[in-house]
Structure 1
Amino acid sequence: MHFDPLSDPMLARDALDLGLTARRLRGPDLVTPTRGVRIGLLRHEADPRAALVDSLRLLARRDQFFSHTTAARLHGMPLPARLDDGPIHLASPTRTVRVRRKGVVGHRIKAEVVEVGGVRVESIADTFVHLGTSVLSLPELVEVGDWIVHPKRERRLTTADLLLRAREFAGARGMAAVFAAVPLIRVGADSPGETRTRLLLRRAGLPELTLQHQVRDGSGRLVGTLDLAYPDRLVGIEYEGAHHMERSQFTYDIARYARLEALGWRVIRVTHDDILDRGQRILPLVRAARARSGQ
């Protein structure tokens, strides 16, 4: 058997059965991501978290599954950067023994289990519940909720689906945050930044916004789609993520905003810094634009 720095995870006992020596398994080109598993050094360095997840798949019992933030990442949910280096969450059904390993948090929970890329994970709805009862703030949980109900999502759920499943956990610790988040979820947010902007304006007492509002000219041709809008006041709000700094996107945005302004729209552009300072710059601009358009 050949084992090199690019090799995928393998159980140490299987490697020994196939003829590798214990000395070879201690070689400098191999890594032990978790007890009982070896993986190629370069394969591990490329993505240590993925290497650990793949290694745990080899060790997990058939009834075990990934949960909490690990399930969220496998589903593709947006999570705050502060959780990037967190532990792996591996769950077992109730009445069974939970896993105990370095870098792994074991849980005994009830959950609906699905497969994502051949990996057993708790369902999207259960992941939402467990994120809300553990590590996410209310705004962060709403960001995940907006992601879940987006029309382009392959396994899209509705807020009714989330609420129905949440009621199965009623009375559990931390469920108040989950029940508070569901009514704040909206369909149409294309990024967490758009959700943060919407929630910021809501907390400031501004009216409900329209998401992904299409603006058309007198001939019915599409001029642009606004992240957030007050159509009755011709006020649009755009969240400017990092990709808006790219030259082609920057040039396109200038032309698009000029076309919108020619139709009487006032477009207010929001950045991550505006979210951090709680809207000190943009809130007066939004209020002034609404007042001016309402005259």
Structure 2
Amino acid sequence: MDAAPLPLDLTRRPFLASEALARGVTRKRLRARDLWTPTRGVRSVDLPTSIVEQARAFAAAAPTEFAFSHVTAAQLLGIPLPYAVEEDCRVHIVTPTSANRIRRAEVQGHRGLESREVVDVVGLPVVAPADTWVDLGEYVGPGKPVGLDDLIVAGDAVVNIVGGTEPLRHAVECRVRPRGKVTLTYAIPRIRVGSWSPMETRARLMVLRAGLPEPSLNADVLSRTGEWLGCGDLVWREQRVVGEYQGVEFHTRPLDRRHDGVRREGIEHGDWVVVEIAAEDVFDTHCRAAKLRELAGHLGVNPHVLDVLGSGPQFLAPPQFARPRRPRR
């Protein structure tokens, strides 16, 4: 026998079981197999799978004052996270310090909503990008999943939203002893507007740490007569050199390779040098050394002065950057 139909609006959104009961839906109907229980007291016709759907399901049962925070906020805002953090399937929320902490198996509760700015994302209350970036400092440190370069990658994404690093600096300064403050503070001057992907950020960090000149990010590439030839990931205008990160996602299909070849040919005909950068050039020591020497040759930098060892990925801020601890009495 088919289950009794639900009110039409309840089939289009997660809803409280108490709301359905008040509208005449029976308890037996709420236990039917065609309904999901994404969190205690909530039902939905469809299984929530995306982060937006999961957040909406929890929002149906959430307290009056709350916002999605930490990992959940970063995912809703499109801030890239390392895989170890993205595997956290819990919904993170923050409530006022004076409120009781939410206790649900699928929820990680935090306090301090009053110290964070909140924005609307697809109708959901979400901790603002700069404050979310500061919250990622809680995952930083030895044995934790987020490192310095991960923070810079996330910061590059955030400043593309907020327009610069000053909101990040302000968000750090407004907190009272935020976790990871040393690494957050060290990361801010190394964050740039204009990076379009995590690996573009990591490639930029590599060349800067090696001692090469800083490139423009995703800048226009023009011929000597002013004709637009394309947009380059890393662009050294004076030396007429373009660094292009070749990611697996967008540059491995035959159609992608043909498009990249035509584009590269056009840029090179405009009297530019194109240097392709792959993931192994960033993460593998020998590949990184060879790629840096190649770039140095095109940029007119003596390869013998490159800091190849110091150009690799970094997980912690340098020890000398940490604030001195007060001696114990």
Q: TM-score range by the shorter chain?
A: 0.7 to 0.9
What is the match of residue 24 of structure 1? 29
Q: Using the TM superposition, give the Cα deviation of residue 6 of structure 1 relative to its aligned residue in structure 2, in angstroms.
A: 5.9
1:208 partnered with 2:209: no
2:315 corresponds in structure 1 to none
TM-aligned CA deviation for residue 285 of structure 1: 3.0
- 1:213 deviates by 3.2
Contact between 1:143 and 1:192, CA under 8 Å: does it hold in 2?
Answer: yes
Partner Cα distance (1:39, 1:212) in 2:
43
- How many residues align structurally? 287
Contact 2:241 2:298 in 1 (8 A): no
| Equivalent residue in structure 1 for 2:98, among 66, 74, 95 | 95
Letter in 2 for 1:102: A
One-letter amino acid of the counterpart of residue 257, structure 1: R
Question: In structure 2, how many angstroms separate the alpha carbons of the residues matched to 1:144 and 1:285?
Answer: 25
Residue of structure 2 equivalent to 1:78:
80
CA shift for structure 1 position 247? 3.9
Q: Which deviates the most, 280-289 or 222-231?
A: 280-289
- Identity among equivalent pairs (%): 35
Are 1:237 and 1:269, in contact at CA under 8 Å, matched by a contact in 2? yes
Segments of structure 2 that go 5 or more residues without pairing to the other structure are 140-144, 302-329
Whole-Å Cα distance in 2 between the matches of residues 213 and 51 of structure 1?
36
- Give how far 1:170 is off: 5.1
Q: CA RMSD in A?
A: 2.4
Q: 1:137 aligns with which of 138, 143, 147?
A: 147
Q: Name the SS of the counterpart of 2:43 in structure 1.
A: strand
For the 8 Å contact 2:133–2:154, the answer to whether it is kept is yes
Maintained 8 Å contact 1:33/1:51 = no
For residues 299 and 102 of structure 2, the distance between their equivalents in structure 1, rounded to whole angstroms, comes to 60
Aligned partners of 1:211, 1:48: CA distance in 2, in Å? 31
> If the length of structure 1 is used for normalisation, what is the TM-score?
0.88
Choose which of 13, 36, 46 in structure 1 pairs with 2:18: 13
- Quick one: structure 1 residues 67 and 191, their matched pair in 2 at CA, closer, same or farther if it must change by over 3 Å? same
Q: Deviations over 1:106-146 (max 9, x none)?
A: 11113122222221111111111001232532111111211
Distance 2:299 2:14 in 1: 61
Long gaps (5+) in structure 1: none
- The CA deviation string for residues 71-116 of structure 1, in whole angstroms up to 9 with x for no partner, is 1122222223333331111111112111110110011113122222
Runs of 4+ in structure 1 over 6 Å off: none
Select the residue among 224, 233, 240 that pairs with 1:227: 233
Indicate conservation of the 8 Å contact 2:281/2:288, yes or no. yes
264-273 vs 97-106, greater mean Cα deviation: 264-273
Q: What does residue range 94-173 of structure 1 map to in structure 2 within 5 Å?
A: 94-109=97-112, 110-134=115-139, 136-150=146-160, 153=161, 156-169=162-175, 171-173=177-179
Give TM-score scaled by structure 2 length.
0.79
CA contact (8 A) 1:224 1:256 kept: yes
The answer as to whether partners of 1:268 and 1:286 remain within 8 angstroms in 2 is no
Residues of 2 paired with 1:157 and 1:255: CA distance? 33
Report the alpha carbon displacement of residue 256 of structure 1 after superposing the two structures with TM: 2.0
| CA distance 1:292–1:227, shift in 2 (3 Å) | closer
Q: Distance between the aligned counterparts of 2:284 and 2:67, measured in 1?
A: 39
Contact kept, 8 Å, 1:236 with 1:266, in 2: the verdict is: yes
Cα separation, partners in 2 of 1:258 and 1:205, compared to 1, 3 Å:
same
Which of 34, 43, 47 pairs up with 1:44? 47
CA deviations 1:151-170 (Å, max 9, x no partner) are xx4xx232112112211125
- Tell me, what secondary structure is at the counterpart of 1:131? helix
